[in-house]
Structure 1
Amino acid sequence: MPLISVIIPCFNAAATLGATLEALRAQTLQDWEALIVDDGSTDESAEIAKHVAAKDPRIALTRNPGRGPSAARNHAGLNLAKGRILAFCDADDIWTPGKLEAVSKALDAGHADAVFGQTAFFAAHPSDARSISGVSQGDITIETLLGENPVCTLSNLSLGAEHFRALGGFDATLVHNEDLDFLIRLVGHGGQLRGLPGVHVYYRTSPSGLSADLAAMQAARRRLLATAARFGVTANRRNEAIYLRYLARRALRLDLSPVLSARLALTGFVTDPGGFLSPVHRGLATLGAACAAPILPGATRRALFSK
Structure 2
Amino acid sequence: MNKTALTIVSVPKAFKGKFELIQRNAIQSWKALEGNIRIILLGDDEGTAEVAKEFNLIHVPEILRTDQGTPRVDYIFESARKNTSGRWICYVNADIILLGEILEVINKISFRRAMICGRRTDIDIDYRIDFSSDVWEKTLIESVKRRGVLHGATGIDYFLHTKNIFKNIPPFALGRTAWDNWILYNCIKNKIPLIDATNMILAIHQNHDYSHAVGGANEVWKGEEAKINLALSRPGENFTLDRCNWEFSKFGMKRKLFFIPKEIKRRIPRIKLLEAPLVSVVMPVYNREKTVGAAVESIRKQSYEKWELIVVNDGSTDETKKIIEEVSKKDTRVKIINLPKQSSLSSVRNTGIKASIGKYIAPMDSDDISHKNRLLRLVSFLEANTSIAAVSSWAENRDLSGTFLSSYTTSTMPEDIRIETPLRDPVVHAASVLRKKVLSRIGFYDESYEFSHDSKLWVDIVKAEFDVAALPEYLYTIRLHGSNLTYRSESRSIARRAYSEFWRIAIEEYPIRAVRWIDDALAELGDNSIIWGTGQAARLLVDWLREKGKKIKAFIERDDARRRKLNREKILPAPVISLEKLIESKFSKIAIASSVAQAEIEEKLLQMGFNRKEHFMAVTFLLTKRIELLKEINQ
User: Fold-level match, TM-score > 0.5?
Assistant: yes
2:189 maps to 1:189: no
CA-CA distance at 1:155 after TM superposition: 1.5
1:30 and 2:305 are equivalent in the alignment: yes
What pairs up with 1:91-110 in 2 under 5 angstroms? 91-109=366-384, 110=386
1:10 counterpart (285, 289, 311): 285
Query: How far does residue 121 in structure 1 lie from its aligned partner after superposition?
Result: 0.6
CA deviation map 1:158-201 (0-9, x unaligned) = 11111111111111221222111111111111111001121111
**Aligned counterpart in structure 2 of residue 137 of structure 1, from 406, 413, 419:** 413
Deviation at 1:220, TM superposition (A): 4.0
What amino acid sits opposite 1:226 in the alignment? E
For residues 487 and 596 of structure 2, the distance between their equivalents in structure 1, rounded to whole angstroms, comes to 21
The yes-or-no answer on 1:46 pairing with 2:324 is no
In 2: Cα distance, 1:199 partner to 1:17 partner: 21
Q: Considering fraction of residues, name the structure with more helix.
A: 1
CA–CA separation in structure 2 for the residues paired with 1:127 and 1:156? 19
Give the alignment of 1:219-258 within 5 angstroms.
219-229=494-504, 235-237=513-515
Is the aligned partner of 1:74 residue 2:350? Answer: yes
Instruction: Give the 3 Å change call, closer, same or farther, for CA 55–237 of structure 1 in structure 2.
Output: same
Contact 2:310 2:352 in 1 (8 A): yes
Which of 162, 165, 172 is the aligned partner of 2:447?
Answer: 172
What residue number does 2:425 align with?
149
Alpha carbons 2:455, 2:498 under 8 Å: kept: no
Q: Deviations over 1:89-119 (max 9, x none)?
A: 0101100010000111111112511000011
Contact kept, 8 Å, 2:390 with 2:433, in 1: the verdict is yes
Q: 51-60 or 109-118: which moved more?
A: 109-118
Q: In 2 relative to 1, CA 228–34 (structure 1 residues): closer, same or farther, beyond 3 Å?
A: farther
Distance 1:217 1:129 in 2: 19
- Please identify runs of 4+ aligned residues in structure 1 that moved more than 4 A: 210-213, 281-284
2:515 aligned partner, one-letter code: R
Deviation of 1:67 (Å): 1.2
Contact 2:362 2:432 in 1 (8 A): yes
Task: Name the SS for the 1:236 alignment partner.
Answer: helix
Distance 2:293 2:359 in 1: 26
SS in 1 for 2:392: strand
Residue aligning to 2:484: 209
Quick check: 2:395–2:475 contact (8 Å CA) kept in 1? yes
Q: Larger relative contact order (C-alpha < 8 A, sep ≥ 6)?
A: 1
**TM (normalized to structure 2)?**
0.36
Look up the equivalent residue of 1:237 and give its one-letter code. V
| Structure 1 Cα separation of the partners of residues 501 and 595 of structure 2 | 25
Counterpart Cα distance in 2 of 1:205 and 1:235: 33
Deviations 1:30-69 (A, max 9, x none): 1000100010000011100001111101000002332122
Note the alpha carbon deviations across 1:242-293, whole angstroms, 9 max, x for none: xxxxxxxxxxxxxxxxxxxxxxxxxxxxxxx97xxx6448989xxxxxxxxx
Q: Give the length in aligned residue pairs.
A: 253
Q: Secondary structure at the match of 1:92?
A: coil
Distance 1:132 1:213 in 2: 14
Cα 1:184–1:75, aligned 2, differ >3 Å: closer, same or farther? same
> Is 1:8–1:91's contact at 8 Å kept on the other side of the alignment?
yes
| One of 379, 388, 392 as aligned partner of 1:112 | 388
Q: Which of 1 and 2 has greater Rg?
A: 2
Q: Which runs of 5+ in 2 are unaligned?
A: 1-273, 519-542, 545-592, 600-623, 626-635
- Name the aligned partner's letter for residue 195 of structure 1: A
> Could you list the per-position Cα deviations for residues 220-255 of structure 1 after superposition, in whole angstroms to 9, with x for gaps in the alignment?
41243024438xx98423779xxxxxxxxxxxxxxx
Asked whether the 8 Å contact 1:143–1:235 carries over to 2, the reply is no
Q: Which residue does the alignment assign to 1:89?
A: 364
SS at match of 2:444: coil
Does the Cα contact within 8 Å between 1:181 and 1:224 map onto a contact in 2? yes
Change (3 A) 1:128 1:213: closer
Relative to 1, partners in 2 of residues 1:138 and 1:224: Cα closer, same or farther, differing over 3 Å? closer
Bigger shift: residues 68-77 or 86-95 = 68-77
Distance in 1 (CA, whole Å) between partners of 2:319 and 2:419 is 42
Q: Is the 8 A contact 2:418 2:467 kept in 1?
A: no
Q: 1:124, 1:189 → 2: CA distance?
A: 38
8 A Cα contact 2:345 2:451, kept in partner: no
Contact 1:23 1:97 in 2 (8 A): yes
Which whole-Å CA distance do the structure 2 matches of 1:167 and 1:211 have between them? 29
Q: 1:228 to 1:89 in 2, by over 3 A?
A: farther
| Equivalent pair of 1:95/1:201 in contact (CA under 8 Å) | yes
CA distance, structure 2, for counterparts of residue 32 and residue 216 of structure 1: 29
8 Å Cα contact 1:5/1:35 also seen in 2: yes
Check whether the contact 1:132–1:283 (CA below 8 A) recurs between aligned residues.
no
